[in-house]
Every structure is written in C-alpha cells, then in structure tokens.
Amino acid sequence: HNLEMKHLPGADPELVLLSHRYEELERIPLSDMTREEINQLVQELGFYRKEAPDAPVPEEFQFAPARPLPTLPPRQAPAADSKTPPGHDEGEHPDL
C-alpha cells in the first residue's frame, strides 16, 4: 500500500521516498540488494503489505508509512520594546 513501482529503462533501481506533498525525502539504492532484502527494507520502513491487490487497508495504515511532520520549537514572542519585526531562523521555511 502506498508504494508504486516505475521501471525506468537504463536507470539504476532505487527507492525514492516522498512526503505527503510529493517532496523527495530520501533515495535508497537497490542495485546491490536481493529481493528478500528489499522486501525487508520496505517492511521496516512501515509499508503495509496487502494480502491481495483488492484487499482493504486497515485505517491505521491508510497514510503509512508517512513520517510525522517535524515538530518545531515554540516561537519566542518579540520583546515589547523591540522595533524589529520577528524574522525567520536561517533554514526555516517562511510558511512554517
């Protein structure tokens, strides 16, 4: 469940993990792995294996193996006498 295989002729096989926004999180090369090792890896990553292609997926696995969003530390309120607007920490996304 939530795993799609795409065959790209001439490309080395790799597992590409995407966020719920389809942003790339990680690439794992699969060239040197056996089928059993790949199956174990996918299971360790939290993918749910259906008993049959049309079998239902339990609710707790509907969005698996999506990783929880990182928690950010609470923002400090600017001092009352501060004249500069609060900025963003370096590396922090402005939408967060």
Per-residue pLDDT of the chain (96 residues; tens, 9 = 90+): 788 888 899 999 999 998 878 889 999 999 999 999 999 999 888 888 888 989 998 888 888 776 554 555 565 655 555 555 555 455 554 444
Q: Residue 7, SS3?
A: coil
The pair of structure tokens assigned to 95 is: 């939408």
Fold observed for domain 1-69: Glutaredoxin (3.40.30)
The number of C-alpha atoms within 13 Å of 40 and in the hemisphere containing its C-beta is 5
The pair of structure tokens assigned to 91 is: 């590396």
pTM comes to 0.58
Q: Can you point out the beta strands (E) in 1-96?
A: 14-18, 24-29
| Phi, psi of 12, deg, nearest 5 | -70, 140
The pair of structure tokens assigned to 94 is: 């402005």
